[in-house]
Chains A and B, each alone.
Chain A
Amino acid sequence: AQSVSQHNHHVILSEAASLELGCNYSYGGTVNLFWYVQYPGQHLQLLLKYFSGDPLVKGIKGFEAEFIKSKFSFNLRKPSVQWSDTAEYFCAVMTNRDDKIIFGKGTRLHILP
């Protein structure tokens, strides 16, 4: 069965630091990849997604992610974080086998002002 692994459970950074959150998935076929964010007290919402084409995708609020097929990875990046980026981030994968969308365990990001 497909699975998603997020390497960092809790990350603490200072404002203006660069961010990279790791995400790996296990599935050999075609995938759609997602990053979702849950700000404190808010709904889960889509940050960015990859379906096909350019492996470097850009999302909202200056986030981007790169799909590296050979590494089964879809890491999330932001060059300079802000205090308002404090949230929990979830990587998710949808395979071409079914319409299940499987999530990783999440990474709690805490930005120090």
Chain B
Amino acid sequence: DGGITQSPKYLFRKEGQNVTLSCEQNLNHDAMYWYRQDPGQGLRLIYYSQIVNDFQKGDIAEGYSVSREKKESFPLTVTSAQKNPTAFYLCASSQYGLGTGELFFGEGSRLTVL
């Protein structure tokens, strides 16, 4: 089945540690996105990538880093510089170039900093 796979589903981290969240898609989509979802805050854009080897900061990029070495993969690293990392993280993809903008979401990864 085509879709987006995020892993791990749940992750615990000690303060001061970096952690990487995986996002893989087999939809052959060009664009990929990372959002953070907090209660009452909706979805806030962290980073997005329209094409391999290129990505742009979203509205809350501080303390996060990404890479896009392959079309199907867009991992997100939550660094120790992120002040409040405990959140639900959503990865999404869309078909760039057709202008559809429709996003397909993964199941999410819940990160808890202890």
* A residues adjacent to B (C-beta < 8 A): 1, 6, 9, 32, 34, 36, 43-46, 49, 51, 90, 92, 94, 98-106
Contacts and interface: CB of A to CB of B under 8 A. Distances in A.
B4 to A, nearest CB: 9
B103 A46 contact: yes
Contacts of A94: 101
Contacts of B105: 43-45
A100 B103 contact: no
A102 B43 CA distance: 8
B102 A44 contact: no
Given A9-B40, A44-B90, A90-B43, A101 B103 contact: yes
Q: Is the interface of A mostly helix, strand, loop or mixed?
A: strand
A78 to B, nearest CB: 21
Q: 8 nearest interchain CB pairs?
A: A105-B42, A103-B43, A94-B101, A44-B105, A106-B42, A32-B101, A103-B42, A43-B105
B64 interface: no
A101 B50 CA distance: 12
Given A51-B100, A90-B43, A98-B56, 16 more contacts: A43-B107, A46-B102, A49-B102, A51-B99, A99-B48, A99-B96, A99-B101, A100-B45, A100-B48, A100-B58, A101-B33, A101-B94, A101-B101, A101-B103, A103-B44, A106-B40
A44 B91 CA distance: 11
